[in-house]
Chains A and B, each alone.
Chain A
């Protein structure tokens, strides 16, 4: 049998077009990321120097540095993770390891997904109502961290759940077969295997939390507070909110524009560093528990 030559050509052309389009789109997305980074770096790097990183803001936030905002963001990230990580991991363990298949488990999973879709400003309002007013924490690092923690919770829960699900069942069975209890098996076998992927959840959550403005708006962020917080009951500045303030509601928006780009630059760098550290950590653990 002879097949028409034209069909071969059409197949080749069709593939070439399809792959070409996919390639251009995927490269375009990378290019977009670089464009954003380039823009931030170009505008911001001139402003960033030692003083910018270590000094208090001065002159209506048009001069000086953003030290308190940097520290504030670090406190908030640490505080929110201190809350969201253990709670989220435990919830993920419950959903994947203990909850019986059925309507209740499906409901919990569905609600976790819904929680992830709630707009962050709603978290902010909820945090204000519950932590700031009801529980009487006032606008404080504690209230802000808890609010950010709530926002990060669904991410941590979902990634923990997925990480546990990807652990092959024969690992659990091998432990049970040796007389291991469920809890012992989870602690000694399942969690160590899932750890690298759970850490990925932490990375994602840190990235999300460090850039959020709305949840801290009413719960912790200070408009202008040129000193470091003394305790977790104090307010603090934070990078995303600082950026928002000096870009929109300062008295001298034009004059503080370079400060805004500098702030954006620092925020991006902090997120990149955190991601990098977490990735290194993940690879380190990943090598220790490599699957066959």
Chain B
């Protein structure tokens, strides 16, 4: 499998804080990569490299290379950042649908990028809601506020919102940590469905979840990538003692 994303010796500083310490890692295309590690280890910061979300935080310095399809996304013109973000969807920890109807939430990414053809938007919204396994539950209330949905439905709506503009990469920052086990199961099924078409990176605190959904796993600790390998290998026979300690719950 080709590598969709690659980081080469990436360092990131927030002011005086050295959050990422020389991360070199390659993320294969059309697969799920899980990032695990204790709170504050840098895994979310690492995730946010790929859609340049860290740029929004003042006093952030980044060195090294972040390659998407071989192109360094930190060398592109600032006018190309929106195009980059269209290609890299993101799902957040807490479901955060916009204060709009279900339909308009999914259509948001199309409208914000200047698409005005209503029949195209309608088709795209329906297609995307099918893809996010939400269509049957919401098809009769597309005009209703997104806040009327349950937490799990809201999160699938947020995934649909990200899918609507057809990105090739999806970043998920603990997408199920605020959800009950049943809703979590649905999100995980969805992730499994989506990986044939998308490159997915998921940050999770849940070891079982990482084991269930991912093909590769990276273990972060104190801003360093301790180990990166096939998930099966990480969970059955990790190379590093720290990884084993973390996975077996001896620290973190």
**Contact, CB under 8 Å: A101 / B147:** no
Apart from A173-B53, A177-B51, list 17 A-B contacts with CB within 8 A: A168-B94, A173-B56, A174-B90, A175-B98, A176-B53, A177-B90, A177-B162, A178-B89, A179-B82, A188-B98, A188-B112, A189-B98, A192-B98, A192-B100, A288-B145, A289-B147, A290-B147
Q: Which of A177, A184, A291 contacts B53 (CB 8 A)?
A: A177
Given A101-B58, A288-B145, A179 and B90 touching (CB < 8 A)? no
- Chain A residues lying within 8 Å of B162, measured Cβ to Cβ, are 177-178
Give CA–CA (A178, B88) in the complex, Å.
Answer: 8
Given A174-B158, A189-B98, A290-B147, A179 and B165 touching (CB < 8 A)? yes
Tell whether B216 is near chain A: CB-to-CB under 8 Å. Answer: no
**Contact, CB under 8 Å: A175 / B108:** yes
**Contact, CB under 8 Å: A176 / B85:** yes
Tell whether B249 is near chain A: CB-to-CB under 8 Å. Answer: no
Q: Which residue of A lies closest to B93 (CB)?
A: A170
Give CA–CA (A170, B98) in the complex, Å.
Answer: 10
- Chain B residues lying within 8 Å of A101, measured Cβ to Cβ, are 58
Within 8 A of B (CB), among A156-188: 168, 170-171, 173-181, 184, 188
**Shortest Cβ gap from A112 to chain B (Å):** 22
**Contact, CB under 8 Å: B112 / A178:** yes
**Contact, CB under 8 Å: B92 / A179:** no
Tell whether A249 is near chain B: CB-to-CB under 8 Å. Answer: no
- Chain A residues lying within 8 Å of B113, measured Cβ to Cβ, are 178-179
Q: Which residue of B lies closest to A195 (CB)?
A: B99
Which range holds the interface residue count of chain B?
A: 20 to 34
A-B interface pairs (CB < 8 A), number = 78
Residue-wise interface mask of B (121-159) relative to A, using a CB-CB cutoff of 8 A (1 in contact, 0 not): 000000000000000000000000101000100100010
Give CA–CA (A179, B147) in the complex, Å.
Answer: 23
Q: Which residue of A lies closest to B51 (CB)?
A: A177
Given A180-B112, A292-B154, A174 and B83 touching (CB < 8 A)? no
Give CA–CA (A101, B94) in the complex, Å.
Answer: 26
Max chain B C-beta neighbours (<10 A), residue from A179, A288, A291 = A179
Residue-wise interface mask of B (89-105) relative to A, using a CB-CB cutoff of 8 A (1 in contact, 0 not): 11011111011100000
**Shortest Cβ gap from B175 to chain A (Å):** 12
- Chain A residues lying within 8 Å of B158, measured Cβ to Cβ, are 174
Q: Which of A100, A178, A192 contacts B109 (CB 8 A)?
A: A178
Within 8 A of B (CB), among A169-226: 170-171, 173-181, 184, 188-189, 192-193
**Shortest Cβ gap from B109 to chain A (Å):** 4
Give CA–CA (A204, B145) in the complex, Å.
Answer: 29
- Chain B residues lying within 8 Å of A184, measured Cβ to Cβ, are 112
